Chain A
Amino acid sequence: MQAIQFEDFSYHYPKTGTGLDRVSLEIPFGSFTVLTGANGGGKTTLCLAMTGLVPHFFGGSLSGQVLVEGQSTAGRSVAETAGGVGIVMEDYESQLVSLTVFEEIAFALENQGLPAALIQTRVSEALSAVGLDGLEQRELSALSGGQKQRLAVASVIASQPKILVLDEPASALDPEGAEELYALLAKLNREQGITVIVADHDLARALPYADTVIVMEQGRVALQGKPTDVFTKMLTDQVYAAAVPALRQLKGRLEKEHPALSDWLNVDAAASEINALLSPKRRLSLSA
């Protein structure tokens, strides 16, 4: 069984008509998947389809099906699907509905009918997981953008979903905040086994953590697979090629002459390999 499975899924919004076009993909449990593609390519719709909000909240027409933990989203309410898959939306500030940090995290747990003592434990655990310990009584208006983003994640993981979906989570964060957020997601993925799916344009940021990349184009899955393979395809087929991280673009050029380069998951790995490729004379002149 896959965490999420799209089976020839097509969807059209009631007013605009655009949406998803015959999407078929599988996202295994425990994976870290990055969704990318130009604006309007269908990333957000894909994320919403994983939670059941598409089609339950928006209406519209569909064919095929989306399975979350083996169960079709069409046959379950949004709240039921949300028990297994949590989402942090692009406008995460509007997603927060309470006055204080504690109330925000407790909100979904109270709706699930959990007893007060268990809610207290879950809130503490969720805050600890996102590094906001001790801020239970802090008002939301007193939190920074990065803290609100973390709170949105905490309020979702408090319900202990197996799958976490984030729609452009770093769009309103500074580079440092975005880096911290990805480190947090990687930790949740690694330590708690949560399946993470992130929609983002900045692939360089996700590169060290992602094991799968999916490129959306005009509502279709244009490419999917391991990051290295997908980046190569993006460059050769010119599919959203501008989004390929600069390091990967450089690697693509070098590979024409040196085809046995490693994966270059970070700048240090790239630097050491480039250094090794340079002639001793050139290396000396650069270091001088």
Chain B
Amino acid sequence: MKNLAPLCNLLLTIMLSVWTVLLWNPLPLAALLALELILIGYAGQAGKLARPVLGLSLVAGFFAVIQLPFDVAIPTAIASGLKMMVMTVAFLLLFATTKLPGLTAALVKQARIPYEYAFLFTSALRFVPDFLAESQAVREAQTCRGYVPSRNPVKRLISYAALVEPMVLRAISRSETMAMSLELRGFGSARRTFSQQIEFHGRDYLVLTLLAAMTAVVVLYR
């Protein structure tokens, strides 16, 4: 998938999700999951994605089991768990194999999505590590001031205000600086170019053909 055009990877992810929605038989769903695992291995991302996939399988298993007391048939419960897993793994695979700027460029230039929306998506991901570091710093600062999260879930939820409030204020200040930075760097310019290569090649067209054929098979034989 690393050698495919970003839009081709995105379409593959979307089609995997579409097939998952259409299918209710655990066997083909398991086959799709197997296909995804093979693709993860082929893309050399097994080491990176092993833990999240394992964690997901536990959640999916729990999701399937929790339906059984509500008179849901076993195959349906298993299919539900598999659906959740296949869809999520598809997106994990997409983000592990596709560079976000390439994806942004593809969304803007090929899918004709306004750049502002595509940028919103990538910039949100940019600030995740900062946000985590900041929440840790705020928690430590508030702990120094005597903050101790209660064991009572309601009290715990209320006490989170001590963490959320400074983080929101900081986020507002940060967003102002970011807005200035964007303004200074000509964000929203109509003449924008992209330095990423996103053009389709022969292999991309081959994958698209296979996707179309597979979709036809799923629609006919589901």
Digit string of B17-32 for contact with A (CB within 8 Å is 1, else 0)?
A: 0000000000000000
Determine the residue in chain B with the shortest Cβ distance to A120: B195
Interface residues of B in 161-220 (CB under 8 A from A): 173-175, 177-189, 191-197
The CB with the most chain A CB atoms within 10 A, among B122, B125, B177, B186, is that of: B186
Q: Assess the A97–B178 pair: CB atoms within 8 A.
A: yes
Digit string of A90-126 for contact with B (CB within 8 Å is 1, else 0)?
A: 0101111111100100111111111110011000000
Determine the residue in chain A with the shortest Cβ distance to B100: A99
Given contacts A51-B184, A53-B184, contact A116 B193 (CB under 8 A): yes
Q: Assess the A112–B189 pair: CB atoms within 8 A.
A: yes
Q: Which residues of A contact B174 (CB under 8 A)?
A: 91, 94
Q: Which residues of A contact B129 (CB under 8 A)?
A: 140-141
Q: Is the interface of B mostly helix, strand, loop or mixed?
A: helix
Q: Is the interface of A mostly helix, strand, loop or mixed?
A: helix
Partner of A112, one of B125, B173, B186: B186
Given contacts A98-B122, A99-B125, A110-B194, contact A89 B181 (CB under 8 A): yes
Given contacts A113-B192, A115-B193, contact A98 B185 (CB under 8 A): no
Q: Which residues of B contact A277 (CB under 8 A)?
A: none
A271 at the interface (CB under 8 A from B): no
Q: Which residues of B contact A140 (CB under 8 A)?
A: 126, 129
Q: Which residues of A contact B195 (CB under 8 A)?
A: 106, 109-110, 116, 119-120
Number of residues on chain A facing chain B (CB within 8 A): 37
Partner of A95, one of B100, B177, B191, B197: B177
State the Cβ distance, A163 to closest chain B Cβ, in Å: 13
B61 at the interface (CB under 8 A from A): no
Given contacts A98-B126, A140-B126, contact A111 B186 (CB under 8 A): yes
State the Cβ distance, B28 to closest chain A Cβ, in Å: 36
Q: Assess the A53–B180 pair: CB atoms within 8 A.
A: yes
Q: Assess the B180–A57 pair: CB atoms within 8 A.
A: yes
B152 at the interface (CB under 8 A from A): no
Q: Which residues of B contact A108 (CB under 8 A)?
A: 184-186
Measured between alpha carbons, how far is A91 from B193 in the docked complex, in Å? 28
Given contacts A78-B184, A99-B122, A141-B129, contact A89 B177 (CB under 8 A): yes
Interface residues of A in 30-65 (CB under 8 A from B): 51, 53, 56-57
Given contacts A98-B122, A111-B185, contact A141 B193 (CB under 8 A): no
Measured between alpha carbons, how far is A99 from B122 in the docked complex, in Å? 8
A172 at the interface (CB under 8 A from B): no
Q: Which residues of B contact A78 (CB under 8 A)?
A: 183-184
Measured between alpha carbons, how far is A97 from B121 in the docked complex, in Å? 12
The CB with the most chain B CB atoms within 10 A, among A57, A94, A96, A106, is that of: A94
The CB with the most chain B CB atoms within 10 A, among A98, A111, A159, is that of: A111
Q: Assess the B193–A82 pair: CB atoms within 8 A.
A: no
Q: Assess the A107–B189 pair: CB atoms within 8 A.
A: no
Determine the residue in chain B with the shortest Cβ distance to A56: B183
Q: Which residues of B contact A110 (CB under 8 A)?
A: 192-195
State the Cβ distance, B127 to closest chain A Cβ, in Å: 9
B71 at the interface (CB under 8 A from A): no
State the Cβ distance, A254 to closest chain B Cβ, in Å: 44
A79 at the interface (CB under 8 A from B): yes
State the Cβ distance, A111 to closest chain B Cβ, in Å: 4
Q: Assess the B184–A79 pair: CB atoms within 8 A.
A: yes
A170 at the interface (CB under 8 A from B): no
Measured between alpha carbons, how far is A116 from B109 in the docked complex, in Å? 15
Q: Assess the A95–B178 pair: CB atoms within 8 A.
A: yes
Measured between alpha carbons, how far is A107 from B179 in the docked complex, in Å? 14
Q: Which residues of B contact A94 (CB under 8 A)?
A: 173-175, 177-178, 181
State the Cβ distance, A283 to closest chain B Cβ, in Å: 51
14 A-B interface contacts by CB (under 8 A): A57-B183, A78-B183, A78-B184, A89-B180, A94-B174, A94-B177, A94-B178, A95-B177, A97-B126, A103-B101, A110-B195, A115-B193, A141-B130, A159-B185
Residues of B bordering A, CB below 8 Å = 100-101, 122-123, 125-126, 129-130, 173-175, 177-189, 191-197
Sort A-B residue pairs by CB-CB distance and give the 8 closest, nearest first: A113-B191, A141-B129, A111-B186, A94-B177, A108-B185, A79-B186, A95-B181, A116-B195
Inter-chain pairs besides A79-B184, A110-B193, 5 sampled, C-beta below 8 Å: A51-B184, A91-B177, A98-B122, A111-B187, A141-B130
